[in-house]
A and B are shown apart, each in its own frame.
Chain A
Amino acid sequence: MDMEILLQILISGLLMGLIFALIAVGLTLIWGVMDILNFAHGEFLMLAMFFSFWMFSLWAIDPLWSLPITVALLFAIGVGTYYLVIKKVLNAPGLTALLATFGLSILIKNLAQFFWTPDFRQVQGAILGEKTLSFFNLNVSLPELVAACGSALITYLVYYLIFRTKTGRAIRAAALDRDTALLMGINIDRVYALTFGLGGACVGVAGALLMNFYYVFPSVGGLFGILAFVTVALGGFGNITGAFYAGILIGIVETAGGVFISPVFKYTIVFVMYLVIISIRPKGLFGW
């Protein structure tokens, strides 16, 4: 087996995996804190990508510079979704919350399709463009590299926020025991809104970074969404570190599967792997 091919697969897989990880981290955060599986997460990503695209297309703002705007927009959408939808289904039986976000995802996806058509869009001529770096016979796409590094950085920032700051402590308290946290004076409502906003922000970053080299269309949220769910489940619901490692694993498996078996089946392999792992470890790889 050619060492170079293996390394190439590992690197490409790692890069995509880091991006998957960031998307999953946003999702697992929401789940861990509020016990809600946000089915519209993929659609949020799609919106982030479209916002990035339109800012470039209409006003010639490079995705790198418009990133903060995209993040702010997605944060706002997250918070808005919390107050308008999630808050009302928090205490409802299991099926309800699932279906509310599900309905939301269908609504967003089809509205996007209605207004922006199902066409594929791509950003042409961005700063990062289609440049590649070469070293030791390995090719690394620059925008992918930047996206991966950005994702890793933001993932770390989220981790830091949750585990090393006072706000993060409030979030963790609310996640562990809502009633006690309430009694200790923590404003649960605000914590939840912040968490949902944060989930949106994660996806905002990922989407803006993805736009540098990926293409967007209304249904793009579907695949990324399912992959995010699988990543979260694999890493253990609510487990940020778990989601991080699971994302990388999935990125590598997907790339390897595409090379060794067939590009057609690369996601299929990921799903099969998920089913196998989940049968052996019902709480995910690192579930608790």
Chain B
Amino acid sequence: METSALALFKKPWVLITLLVLLFLPFTMNNIHFHHVLIMFMLFATLSQAWNVIGGFAGQVSFGHATFFGIGAYAALVLLKRYDLSPWVGMLIGGGCAVIVAVLIGYPVFRLKGHYFAISTFAVAEIAERLFANWDFVEGAIGLPAPVLPEGWINFMWYKTKMPYFYIAFALFVVVLLIAYKMNRSRLGFYFRAIKQSHEAAEGLGIDTTKYKMVAMAISAFLTAICGSFYAQYILFIDPPSVLSLDISIKIVLITVLGGAGTVIGPILGAAILIPLSEYSRILLGGTGKGLDLIVFGALILFISVYQPQGLVGFLRKTGKS
């Protein structure tokens, strides 16, 4: 069994796909296209992060937007009020997310699957409401990024999206490596064991509560990092844009569509759903938002009923085997 993470790059198709992705923005100098690429990588990474707890450890969370929001707000608030570089803010945001994850996780992980899922709903709703009424973060009015000279230190650019693209790409690759490596390590095996049989896992020496918390912490940290990136990219955030249930749902949908519990699933799912979502919003304006969700809903329904393993399962059946 290959245990080195870098072995991922030895696979030819991975290297090719990544290189293609890297050069894609240069094929079309269209700002919408660049935006879609960045969103694709962001959501693929977010789904990869969700996958750790949702797909691998099998604990479905409908509240991941909470961590996304914590990351987003940490970066911008610390920048605005304390002139702290967003890179540092990102790490602090990640840390806060981990603390929240552990605080929630501790009482809630002893619960059976559905109680946990509902608890994540409850937490997400509480978080959105709290942030909307908290003056320190400008509440419901929203928090714009301060206008600072662009560049790497301030983590903001106005004239071009390319640096954002590179950062998103780096994030994408790093998290992909993490997921790949984790899958081959004790952590990954333990997560999968917990998901497939809680009892058997305990009987083999796995402290299920501890490992579920570890999964949650990793997932929360990575999600928050993505949130910080998003804040610096969009340059304006408010509770509906970073803490809403819609974001949580989107992440779940992408992962399930692509195939939860696999490394490639989130990428496939994002590759289909993000362009669909972004372009339908661009083309159809306001009503587009409802239309793409109709498609999402139908897709998820279809996938759960006929192909629970998602696209990955579909490809496995028709392609390789």
Contacts and interface: CB of A to CB of B under 8 A. Distances in A.
A–B contact at 8 Å CB threshold (below): yes
Instruction: Sort chain B's interface into a size bin.
Output: 35 or more
B300 A233 contact: no
B194 to A, nearest CB: 12
A147 B111 CA distance: 34
A272 B119 CA distance: 10
Contacts of B58: 94-95
A274 B290 contact: no
Contacts, number: 129
Interface in A101-157: 102-111, 113-114
A93 B294 CA distance: 25
B305 A85 contact: yes
B138 interface: no
Contacts of B299: 103
A265 B290 contact: no
Interface in B220-266: 245, 249, 252-253, 256, 260
A102 to B, nearest CB: 7
B291 interface: yes
Interface stretch (B77-85, B122-130, B155-163, B174-182): B122-130
Given A94-B58, A95-B58, A100 B107 contact: no
A274 B290 CA distance: 31
Interface in B276-301: 287, 290-291, 293-294, 296-301
Main secondary structure of the interface of A (DSSP, over half): helix
Contacts of B298: 103, 107
A278 interface: yes
B258 to A, nearest CB: 13
B119 A278 contact: yes
B239 to A, nearest CB: 12
A93 B113 CA distance: 12
Contacts of A104: 297, 301
Of A99, A109, A113, most B-chain CB atoms within 10 Å: A99
Instruction: Sort chain A's interface into a size bin.
Output: 35 or more
B61 to A, nearest CB: 12
Interface string A205-230: 00000000000000000100010011
B129 A268 contact: yes
A268 B122 CA distance: 8
A88 interface: yes
Contacts of A275: 104, 107-108, 119, 122-123, 126
Given A107-B294, A229-B121, A282 B126 contact: no
A282 B111 contact: yes
Nearest to B125: A271
Contact of A89 (B119, B125, B249, B305): B305
B108 A226 contact: no
A229 B305 contact: no
Nearest to A103: B300
Given A96-B308, A103-B300, A226-B125, 20 more contacts: A89-B304, A95-B260, A98-B114, A99-B252, A99-B300, A99-B303, A103-B301, A106-B297, A107-B301, A108-B297, A109-B293, A110-B291, A230-B118, A267-B129, A275-B107, A275-B119, A275-B122, A278-B108, A278-B119, A279-B108
Contacts of A226: 118, 121-122, 125
Interface of B: 58, 60, 104, 107-108, 110-115, 117-119, 121-123, 125-126, 129-130, 133, 245, 249, 252-253, 256, 260, 287, 290-291, 293-294, 296-306, 308
A161 to B, nearest CB: 24
Contacts of B107: 275, 278-279
B293 A110 contact: yes
A230 B115 CA distance: 9
A110 B249 CA distance: 14
B290 A114 contact: yes
Contacts of A264: 129, 133
Contact of A111 (B121, B245, B294): B294
A85 B301 contact: yes
B118 A100 contact: no
A82 interface: no
B125 A93 contact: no
Contacts of B121: 226, 229-230
Contacts of B110: 282
A106 B293 contact: yes
Contacts of A102: 249, 252, 300
A206 to B, nearest CB: 20
A100 B296 CA distance: 12
Contact of A110 (B119, B253, B294): B294
Of B121, B291, B299, most A-chain CB atoms within 10 Å: B121
Contact of B111 (A89, A113, A278): A278
Contacts of A58: none
30 contacts: A92-B308, A96-B304, A98-B117, A99-B300, A100-B305, A103-B298, A103-B300, A103-B303, A104-B297, A105-B297, A106-B249, A106-B293, A106-B300, A107-B294, A107-B297, A109-B297, A110-B297, A114-B294, A226-B118, A226-B122, A233-B115, A237-B115, A264-B129, A265-B129, A274-B119, A274-B122, A275-B123, A279-B108, A282-B110, A282-B115
B297 A103 contact: yes
